[in-house]
Chains A and B, each alone.
Chain A
Amino acid sequence: MSRTAKILSLAFIAFWLLTALAPSLIAPGDPLAINPAQAFQKPGLGHLFGTDESGRDVYTRVVHGARDSLFIGIAATALGMGLAIVLGTAAALSPRWLDEAILRVLEALYAVPSLLMALLIIAFTGPGVGPAIVAVGLSTAPGYARLVRSQIRTLRRSEMLEAATVLGRGPWAKVRNHLVPNALKPLLALVTLGIGQAVIWAAALSFLGLGTPPPAPEWGAMLSAGRTYLHLAWWMSLFPGLAIVVVAAGATLIGRALGGKVKAL
């Protein structure tokens, strides 16, 4: 990664972290404050992104919405990745029959489109932030798990592991010190890509009314609300939509840059 790209990526991550953790710093208003007299204001000096049908400030809501959207995205990816490490490592190091069994289960899960599976899970658990995280996390896990498994299988036959055996390292030391860290390094790029993807899915679930419940600000839910008034208040949908695009595209670009770096090593 070039120096400029590094600085830009770090600035991007810092900006969104700040937005998610301390939204009031850049948007001091109350995202839930209703003011019917001010409904459907166009974007202008008073309301940077305009107002919605209840007169709430869209700018404030987009900024405050970052917390839920990013939290669901990151938590879901962490859940999926954690599960994948356990399953993938177990499969790679297990006797053949167990490896095959885990693989078949992963393949069956992989065959179901991820979003469809997320919907299925929510059908059991009911809507909400927690269920959205679990749904997105579980549906991304099979893909990661297959990658972790193949990484570990390659590493397991490496000279590095042979050397560790010759040095007298036990099985746990080998997994903990060498296998898992080296298998995860190339997956770092994938995780960044995955966060962008998970943010979109979280928004999609909220758009369908299955994620963050209203009136809490969340980008997908805001898009959904704005859809009804698209012909007279385009700004209600445009700005949360833009936020999703910027976060997802940014995460993807950083992921790709990291991926290039990993390949070069």
Chain B
Amino acid sequence: MNQPVIAVENLRVSFGGTTAVDGVSFTLHAGRALALVGESGSGKSVTARSLLGLSGGRAAADALEICGQDARDLSDGQWRQIRGTRISMILQDALMALDPLRPVGREIGDALKAHGSAPASARRAQVIDALAAVRVPEPERRARQRSTELSGGMRQRALIAQALIGDPQVVIADEATTALDSQLTALVLSQLRDIKEQGRAVLMISHDLAQVAQLADDIAVMRQGKIVEFGPAIEVLGSPQHEYTKTLLQAVPSGVPRFSSLSPGSAVPQCPARPNTTSAALRVNSLSKSFGGHPAVQDVSFELPRGKTLGIVGESGSGKTTTARMVLGIERPDSGTVELLGQGFVPQRESARRELRRQMGAIYQNPLGSFDPRYSVSQLLTDALSQGRTKRSSQYRDEVARLLEQVELDPALGGRNPVELSGGQRQRLAIARALAAKPAVLILDEPVSALDVSVQATVLDLLDRIQLETGTSYLFISHDLSVIEHMSDAVAVMYQGRIVEQGPTEQIFGDPQQDYTKQLLSAMPRLR
């Protein structure tokens, strides 16, 4: 085979005393895609950043070659020559990565300015070509717009154009699809495929094997700074050798039936003893809300039976969260009603429904923001158990311990501040707090979207178990189709503020009727 564009041998990166990357070796050839897969903290991002000279720690390697050049002892100036022209990176968050005050064309052109002395008019032409190459319609007009004026898809394309403008041979995509809804994910993946077909090498960093499977020729599974399994994608996905790879594969929820375990060691009861009642825990009647004349939610109605899960799926901006906030009584709807256990909940005066609030809990995407930063884990739970009367009372010690046990959190964590917990532990704490009042309904708004796939699997298993044990109904909101498919008894698909289709999960996923649902499902990455 020809010369690899990237050759890494025994790369080691350490921060202070801790080793983040411990003896990683791989090669990457032009026109190929390699995926580094692993959970947060496995060293995959640090490895990728080392290839740009941005590891941020102390990096050493037996060999580190970029396009045939030894990159071990490059000065900052020499790194700047390489970055953007030989190797570049697609950043994760388009909204954060682009300056909101400058036109995207200028943002993209900056890379050219830094490297060449081409005249401004030539640069502008190149920027427009680059935008056209990533299939941005009307590139001249888009180049003059600011990132906030572009849609999510346009922004993502602009970000890719920015990475490609210097004609690099290697493109690194560091979690470039994480937290994007399925249509944007499909877009980025197809762009990466184009990049590969142009003869460039792609290094993809992800924690999600289902997405990696769409693109990668080779997969390297990383854990604790080491590559534990490395091989062609078909072999790694088809017949994984290492235990950890198997765990990661098992964690992917798409196509896994309801109440089947996603994580090793979590015991989801095999025979669901679920109430087979038809009485509704939550009944939502034609909710509508507009912000400044723009309709955000229009005429949304659904019913959530007791002990069941209704999944609401849709891309960002489809009105999922606004619907959840209206159901929770935080946002006042323009019209429509919500009934909780047969009693009117929205619209109601806050004082009139306060007693009923104990029947409805909420879990957010970022649980940390919903905790009082001064409270420790056990204080948060004591506060919830005592309904805000106290945060440190030994009276509730047993109940706090029982809640922690219920969500599989170590009781020794009771004295910690939530800031010190991992993302998965925080979400467990949020679930424990919501369960303190023994609610009939939980509203879960993107509860696992910020978590790694393997952590997500354990939280989903926990939610399954709790539903079987307590008969709590879930309103489960997510942009992730595979999570919705795995968790829901029934599904409502939202698009532009309306529910375009709803029905039993098998029906929506097996035989979608609406064009939008079909389009959404075709963009869904599948492993199985």
Q: Which of A160, A168, A170 is close to B372, meaning CB atoms less than 8 Å apart? A: A160
Cα distance, A265 to B419, chains bound together (Å): 10
B267 interface residue per 8 A CB criterion:
no
B366 interface residue per 8 A CB criterion:
yes
Interface centre among A158, A163, A169, A181 (most CB of B within 10 A): A163
Cβ–Cβ contact B358 & A177, under 8 A: no
Dominant secondary structure of chain A at its interface with chain B: helix
Q: Which of B436-476 contact A (CB under 8 A)?
A: 437
B509 interface residue per 8 A CB criterion:
no
Q: Which of A177, A181, A185 is close to B388, meaning CB atoms less than 8 Å apart? A: A177
Cβ–Cβ contact B370 & A182, under 8 A: no
B362 interface residue per 8 A CB criterion:
yes
Contacts of B102 in A (CB 8 A): none
Cβ–Cβ contact A185 & B374, under 8 A: yes
Contacts of A166 in B (CB 8 A): 328-330, 357, 360-362
Cβ–Cβ contact B362 & A163, under 8 A: yes
Known A166-B330, A168-B437; contact A177-B361, beta-carbon cutoff 8 A: no
Interface centre among B366, B373, B388 (most CB of A within 10 A): B388
B387 interface residue per 8 A CB criterion:
yes
Cβ–Cβ contact A159 & B388, under 8 A: no
Cα distance, A173 to B391, chains bound together (Å): 12
Cβ–Cβ contact A168 & B358, under 8 A: yes
Q: Which residue of A lies closest to B358 (CB)?
A: A168
Cβ–Cβ contact A168 & B387, under 8 A: yes
Cβ–Cβ contact B437 & A160, under 8 A: no
**0 or 1 for each of A165-202: is its CB under 8 Å from B? (1 = yes):** 11111100100011001100100000000000000000
Contacts of A159 in B (CB 8 A): 364, 366, 369-370
Cβ–Cβ contact A178 & B354, under 8 A: no
Contacts of B330 in A (CB 8 A): 162, 165-166
Cα distance, A185 to B350, chains bound together (Å): 29
How far, in Å, is B24 (CB) from chain A's closest CB? 33
Cβ–Cβ contact A182 & B372, under 8 A: yes
Q: Which of B328, B370, B388 is close to A169, meaning CB atoms less than 8 Å apart? A: B388
Contacts of A185 in B (CB 8 A): 374
Contacts of B329 in A (CB 8 A): 165-166
B: contact size bracket: 20 to 34
Known A160-B369, A170-B354; contact A182-B388, beta-carbon cutoff 8 A: no
Cα distance, A168 to B437, chains bound together (Å): 10
B28 interface residue per 8 A CB criterion:
no
Known A159-B366, A160-B369; contact A167-B357, beta-carbon cutoff 8 A: yes
Cα distance, A163 to B443, chains bound together (Å): 12
Q: Which residue of A lies closest to B369 (CB)?
A: A159
Contacts of A169 in B (CB 8 A): 387-388
Cα distance, A13 to B351, chains bound together (Å): 46
Contacts of A160 in B (CB 8 A): 369-373
B383 interface residue per 8 A CB criterion:
yes
Interface centre among B330, B357, B370, B374 (most CB of A within 10 A): B370
Contacts of A167 in B (CB 8 A): 357, 361, 384, 387-388, 433, 437
Cα distance, A120 to B277, chains bound together (Å): 75
Cα distance, A193 to B346, chains bound together (Å): 48
Q: Which of A111-127 contact B (CB under 8 A)?
A: none
**0 or 1 for each of A145-171: is its CB under 8 Å from B? (1 = yes):** 000000000000011101111111110
Contacts of A168 in B (CB 8 A): 354-355, 357-358, 387, 437
Cα distance, A168 to B372, chains bound together (Å): 15
Contacts of B360 in A (CB 8 A): 166
Q: Which residue of A lies closest to B359 (CB)?
A: A168
Q: Which residue of B lies closest to A166 (CB)?
A: B362
Q: Which residue of A lies closest to B361 (CB)?
A: A166
Q: Across the A-B interface, give the 5 residue pairs with the lowest CB-CB distance, nearest first.
A: A168-B357, A163-B370, A159-B369, A173-B388, A166-B362
13 contacts between A and B (CB under 8 A): A159-B364, A166-B328, A166-B329, A166-B357, A166-B362, A167-B384, A168-B357, A170-B351, A170-B354, A177-B388, A177-B391, A182-B372, A182-B374
Given contacts A159-B366, A164-B388, 9 further A-B contacts (CB under 8 A): A159-B364, A160-B369, A166-B362, A167-B433, A167-B437, A169-B388, A170-B351, A170-B354, A177-B372
